[in-house]
Amino acid sequence: MLLRFFIPHQLPGEKIILLLRRHWFIILTKLILFALLALLPLLFFTFARDFYIKLFSLELVYPVFVLFASVYYLYIWLFMLHAFVDYYLDVWIVTNKRILNIEQKGLFARVTSEQKLHRVQDVTSELRGLFATILDYGSVYIQTAGEMQRFHFQQVPHPYQAAKKVSMLADQVRRFNELIKK
């Protein structure tokens, strides 16, 4: 069920080995940023209210502020959902036959690319930065012989283990293919 859902053209006997999303810390930082932005109207209201009331009048400032605050919070909430959708729908899948890169780009573009495991030539993991080192997330680069030469798993948890797994699976598939040829 899970496999049929994520992979549009499932191959016979195909099983998911790795299903990777960005590390939870990435979405958490975005949500914290939006939460901080949600405090801005309260600060504005606290410090700038008297100035605007003197400039115009409370009867005029109040409706505009209510409308602005309402729209502001609605859109903060919408952008939070959008950040989650972007996080949730960017998926990298390694099956026993191929690698898939599914990326949600905005609301109206979804890019899916795939590469057979036996085409994998080189796998590199990269861990860069303070938080990435502490929380163990980073990038995995997969060099293939195909048209799309490099797969990039971005900010995935445990990149070293993921790279090792992909490399091992690619070796297994190549050995299997060589045995069949003989």
Residues in contact with other proteins by the rule CB under 8 A? 2, 5-6, 54-57, 59-60, 62-64, 66-67, 69-71, 73-75, 77-78, 81-82, 84-85, 88-89, 104, 107, 110
User: Does an H or E element contain 65, and which?
Assistant: helix 58-89
CB 94 within 8 A of CB 166: yes
CB closer to other proteins, 63 vs 129: 63
The least CB distance from residue 83 to other proteins, in Å, is 10
Q: How far is CA 37 from the centre of its chain?
A: 22
CB closer to other proteins, 74 vs 168: 74
The least CB distance from residue 69 to other proteins, in Å, is 8
CB closer to other proteins, 112 vs 167: 112
Rounded CA-CA distance 21/13 in Å is 24
The least CB distance from residue 105 to other proteins, in Å, is 11
CB closer to other proteins, 104 vs 143: 104
CB 142 within 8 A of CB 151: yes
Those residues whose C-beta lies under 8 Å from the C-beta of residue 151, and which sit 6 or more positions away, are 92, 99, 101, 113, 115, 140, 141, 142, 144
